[in-house]
Amino acid sequence: MSKTVNRSLAVVLATAGGLTAQRLWKLHEQRNPAAQGKDTAGSLRWNVVTIQAPHELSVDAELPDPLRRLSSKVEVRFRPAPGDRGVELAARPREGFEDEGLRREIREALRDSKQLIETGEILRILPRPEGARPATPTGAIVDLAERIGKKGGVL
């Protein structure tokens, strides 16, 4: 998870929720060791989602669009999930492409691929009915958090 993304997230939650950003960030670090940047294998780590889909899904199958767009830069792996949980779809940057920006693209592509396979489409949120949105600092942070809503997280 990108530190900048998460720090801004921490600020959103902290300013409006009242915790100090530092406290919240600390907490987040305790819960997600990977966020501490101490994960030495970080650049090689797979990001993974589990998809309710037949086990026959394999690397030979056509990649879902969101991942195919990245396929020159990422490696993709499928494997059956335990029990009745479907298939684990994993992706990671190919050697030479290990940067956080790509990591964020991968998270979004995995989440979108899962939605496409499970529900047939990617759920859109915008445009939505909304009142006047005054330019406030907390508002700007929530807007930012929403713009990058699928690129972060612990996936």
Partner 1 sequence: MRALVWNGINKLTVESVDDPKILNSHDAIVKVTRTAACGSDLHLLAGYVPTMRAGDVIGHEFIGEIVEVGSGVTKRKVGDRVAVSSFISCGKCFYCRTEQYSLCDNTDPNPDIPEALWGAAPGGCFGYSHALGGWAGSHAEYIRVPHIDVGSFVIPDGVSDDRAVFASDAAPTGWMGADLAGVKPGDVVVVWGAGAVGQMAARASMLLGAERVIVIDRFDYRLRQVRDVIGAETLDYTKTSVLAELKELTGGRGPDVCIEAVGMEAHSARPDFAYDMVKQQLRMQTDRPTAVREAIMACRKGGSVFVLGVFGGLVDKFPLGAVMNKGLTLRGAQVHGPRYIPMLLERMQRGELVTEHFATHVMPLEEAPRGYELFKHKQDDCVRPVFVP
Q: Does 114 bind partner 1 (CB under 8 A)?
A: yes
Q: Does 82 bind partner 1 (CB under 8 A)?
A: no
Helix (H) or strand (E) holding 91: strand 87-93
- Binding footprint of partner 1, residue count (CB under 8 A): 55
Check the CA dihedral 144-125-105-88 and report its sign.
positive
Distance CA 138, CA 141 (A): 5
Choose, by CB under 8 A, the member of 27, 34, 44, 61 that binds partner 1: 27
Please report, as ranges, the residues that interact with partner 1 according to CB under 8 A.
Answer: 1, 5-6, 9-10, 12-20, 27-28, 31-32, 50, 52, 85-86, 111, 114-115, 118-121, 123-134, 136, 139, 142-143, 145-146, 148-155
